[in-house]
């Protein structure tokens, strides 16, 4: 099961922004700010489903990476291009980022994802060895 751990808390917290240094020359290092997308996680007999709200992120703006038992989700928004002078802005222009520690029972070679209407859905299937099975008696 995906576990929310200190790793996630240290890197992104709900509603707050965190700064991550971006690779730039030493004199002009500008931190990149991220916000944590809100997620729902569901468990089934076959695995887990992670749904993350990422409005404004297109499929080509997603970066999902797996490093050991950590999955990192990054969603880059396209810049707003509105005519006129803004007089009131509530939306934050930050990109999304969230890190989860995965259950070792997840078969990382079968992880899949899809993006639909601003919702990222990640399928995290369990390994066949840990799925419940019926044993026949002779």
117 within some domain = yes
Residue-level pLDDT at 29:
66
134 within some domain = no
Cα four-point dihedral sign 52, 54, 59, 62? negative
121 within some domain = yes
Cα four-point dihedral sign 113, 35, 9, 30? positive
Domain with 108, as residue range(s), is 1-15+55-80+92-129
How many structural domains comprise the chain? 1
Domain with residue 99: its CATH number is: 2.60.40.790
44 within some domain = no
The answer to whether 120 and 75 are in contact (CB under 8 A) is yes
Residue ranges of the chain with pLDDT lower than 70? 1-30, 131
20 within some domain = no
Place of tokens 């078969």: 107
Residue-level pLDDT at 90:
82
**Which residues make beta-bridge pairs with 32?**
20
């Amino acid at each position: 099961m995906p576990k929310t751990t200190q790793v996630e808390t240290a890197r992104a917290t709900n509603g707050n922004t965190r700064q991550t240094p971006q690779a730039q020359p030493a004199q002009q290092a500008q931190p990149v700010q991220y916000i944590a997308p809100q997620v729902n996680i569901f468990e089934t007999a076959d695995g887990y489903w992670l749904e993350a709200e990422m409005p404004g992120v297109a499929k080509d703006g997603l970066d999902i990476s797996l490093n050991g038992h950590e999955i990192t989700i990054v969603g880059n928004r396209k810049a707003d291009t509105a005519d006129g002078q803004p007089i009131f802005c509530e939306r934050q222009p930050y990109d999304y980022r969230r890190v989860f520690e995965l259950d070792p029972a997840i078969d990382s070679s079968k992880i899949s994802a899809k993006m639909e209407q601003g919702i990222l859905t990640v399928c995290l299937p369990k390994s066949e060895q840990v799925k419940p099975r019926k044993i026949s008696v002779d």
